[in-house]
Chains A and B, each alone.
Chain A
């Protein structure tokens, strides 16, 4: 109950946040990214954190949602909600194929196979014509039930809704039969199997839930940006960013992935938009015209992945339970 109350309070604060900060498209954009990454990492966490099955190819499900939605809207003018549902179906089919191949095996195989599947999906989207190939898909105009989807606000609330639903599922799963089975599988597969738990069934179940949620986020993202290509929605980099967000926050917990997103997305955004570089110059720590100043200005924008890498290494070595583990909260 306490956890549900926390979700409700945070959702309430998030819901009125746009009214407080006003109509700043930049901040709304950053907040949308935070909500999306929090939801993506939470969805990944259901499979990776609860069941211990690390997927390194979640971009495949994100991309499946994004591409299906964009193709159906741009070619067949389908209702965005229906095309989102179609995206879920496609993502689940991909998930079932992956799951049925690798969940019979243990150890390193699922991780490796998830990359292979994601790469097959990415290269197919890059090489087929109906996916727009390397050019991607551009959507000029889209509306839903008379709501203007050109503004960012509907997507803010859309992402928030998906995040709340994802957290709700994550929370209820944790104390459900399925959740206990998944955690048993994570801790000791052999013991779980000897107790009669159908390993493949429950792993597939976790994968399907995770993939469906991820594809919904992909659909939302696609209609929000109104442009997708393989490097934006199907790249290995995206899969890895999702994992790192969950890991750095605290894997296997309900709130870890959210914390990871709240910390990492603004950090990446600050590096990307050079806020940190400018601040260093303004503080007089680095002269703008000096070699270091020029270097920072030109390169810091590309450095956010480097920073992710450094944080990951430090995290695995010193905080294997993530930042949430540091805060000393076990649950």
Chain B
């Protein structure tokens, strides 16, 4: 027989554990949404151009700085500044493709990777020279505010806002890809470049648009994460590796897969910092990465035999 007091205590204890669990799950989901955006950006580039973009993390870092300077210099709210950042980043990516990547689209994979590594090094080290290595922090009036739901689970307002915007942008992206002519042309190029070209699609223009889109998505993810993260010239490394893990988990080139992969990685990270230790959360992510390569190399949404 369990006495009444002990029983209540046990119930309460269980409640605390459940709150803990859901707290961790929900904040993982919210962060995962932003990761998903970065992952989708990389996946679009991979799908259309068949290039592993090693500069993706650095593009995200540039997005963080754009949001930071829009806020400190122009006093624009980081979420509102997306209206500025998205077109700027798209144009930047479009030009990078036209000037550099366009020339090596038929080169071996290694050269493409090295070119994007070189471009990434130029971006991160220029940022280092221009903005110094001191980490910057973007503090808005609502940076540390949180809402409490279901009695006990608190969610940070900036993360919540980021998540909502992520969903919005992902929705728009899907409409663009499935309803517009350009979107369908992108989709077609990603499925079969040669066939798309034979159907009269300007594939080299599609590549530039894809890279612009990828850059815009990376910069958006960076801007969305800026209010809750240290802004640092070398921040790109961490995000690059996350974006890769997300893409491989979802299946290289699969946009839906990248979205789901991003959310999974966000939750895994959050769970492992709650139940293991925040020092080991990245290790868990990379072990999952290797596990996927070992057991399901085509990823969750990839087609079998593509590896």
Interface residues of A (CB under 8 A from B): 48, 52, 54, 56, 101-102, 104-109, 111-113, 115-117, 119-120, 123-124, 126-127, 236, 240, 243-244, 247, 299, 302-303, 305-306, 308-313, 315-317, 320
| Given A127-B280, A309-B118, A316-B118, A117 and B109 contact (CB-CB distance below 8 Å) | no
A115-B244, A306-B121 known; 14 other A-B pairs, CB under 8 Å?
A52-B108, A105-B293, A113-B290, A116-B286, A119-B286, A240-B117, A303-B125, A303-B129, A306-B125, A309-B122, A316-B104, A317-B103, A320-B107, A320-B111
Task: Find residues 221-270 in chain B having any chain A CB closer than 8 Å to their own CB.
Answer: 237, 241, 244-245, 248, 252
Cβ of A116 and Cβ of B241 under 8 Å apart?
yes
Task: Find residues 49-100 in chain B having any chain A CB closer than 8 Å to their own CB.
Answer: 52, 100
Chain A binding site: helix, strand, loop or mixed by DSSP? helix
Determine whether B289 belongs to the interface, using a CB cutoff of 8 Å to chain A. yes
Chain B interface residue count, CB cutoff 8 Å, equals: 41
Q: Could you tell me the distance in whole angstroms from the C-beta of B227 to the nearest C-beta in chain A?
A: 26
Query: Across chains A and B, which 9 residue pairs bring their CB atoms closest together, nearest first?
Result: A309-B121, A312-B118, A306-B125, A313-B118, A309-B122, A116-B286, A316-B115, A127-B279, A116-B289
Cβ of A310 and Cβ of B286 under 8 Å apart?
no
Q: Out of B100, B279, B280, B286, name the residue touching A317 (CB < 8 Å).
A: B100
Q: Out of A124, A240, A243, A309, name the residue touching B283 (CB < 8 Å).
A: A124
Interface residues of B (CB under 8 A from A): 52, 100, 103-104, 107-111, 113-115, 117-122, 125-126, 128-129, 237, 241, 244-245, 248, 252, 277, 279-280, 282-283, 286-287, 289-290, 293-294, 297, 307
Cβ of A109 and Cβ of B297 under 8 Å apart?
yes
Q: Could you tell me the distance in whole angstroms from the C-beta of A250 to the nearest C-beta in chain B?
A: 13
Q: Could you tell me the distance in whole angstroms from the C-beta of A113 to the nearest C-beta in chain B?
A: 6
| Given A105-B307, A119-B286, A54 and B113 contact (CB-CB distance below 8 Å) | yes
Q: B282 — which chain A residues lie within 8 A by C-beta?
A: 119, 123
In the complex, the chain B residue whose C-beta lies closest to that of A251 is B110
Cβ of A305 and Cβ of B293 under 8 Å apart?
no
In the complex, the chain B residue whose C-beta lies closest to that of A126 is B279
Cβ of B286 and Cβ of A302 under 8 Å apart?
no
Q: How far is the CA of A108 from the CA of B277 in the complex (A)?
A: 31
Q: B297 — which chain A residues lie within 8 A by C-beta?
A: 104-105, 109
Chain B binding site: helix, strand, loop or mixed by DSSP? helix
Q: How far is the CA of A310 from the CA of B235 in the complex (A)?
A: 20
Q: B122 — which chain A residues lie within 8 A by C-beta?
A: 306, 309-310, 313
Q: How far is the CA of A165 from the CA of B110 in the complex (A)?
A: 27
Sample (27) of A-B pairs whose CB atoms are under 8 Å apart: A52-B110, A102-B293, A105-B297, A106-B307, A108-B252, A111-B113, A112-B248, A112-B289, A113-B293, A116-B286, A116-B289, A119-B283, A120-B283, A120-B287, A123-B282, A240-B121, A244-B118, A247-B114, A302-B125, A306-B122, A309-B118, A309-B119, A311-B118, A315-B118, A316-B111, A317-B103, A317-B115
Q: Could you tell me the distance in whole angstroms from the C-beta of A255 to the nearest C-beta in chain B?
A: 20
Q: A308 — which chain B residues lie within 8 A by C-beta?
A: 118, 121
Q: Could you tell me the distance in whole angstroms from the C-beta of B50 to the nearest C-beta in chain A?
A: 9
Q: A303 — which chain B residues lie within 8 A by C-beta?
A: 125, 129
Q: Could you tell me the distance in whole angstroms from the C-beta of A98 to the nearest C-beta in chain B?
A: 9
Q: B290 — which chain A residues lie within 8 A by C-beta?
A: 101, 113, 116-117, 120
Q: How far is the CA of A106 from the CA of B110 in the complex (A)?
A: 12
In the complex, the chain A residue whose C-beta lies closest to that of B128 is A302
Q: How far is the CA of A268 from the CA of B122 in the complex (A)?
A: 15
Q: B110 — which chain A residues lie within 8 A by C-beta?
A: 48, 52, 54, 111
Q: How far is the CA of A246 from the CA of B120 in the complex (A)?
A: 18
In the complex, the chain B residue whose C-beta lies closest to that of A133 is B279
Cβ of B115 and Cβ of A313 under 8 Å apart?
yes
Cβ of A108 and Cβ of B109 under 8 Å apart?
yes
Cβ of B114 and Cβ of A306 under 8 Å apart?
no
Q: Out of B52, B129, B237, name the residue touching A112 (CB < 8 Å).
A: B52
Cβ of A302 and Cβ of B241 under 8 Å apart?
no
In the complex, the chain B residue whose C-beta lies closest to that of A308 is B121
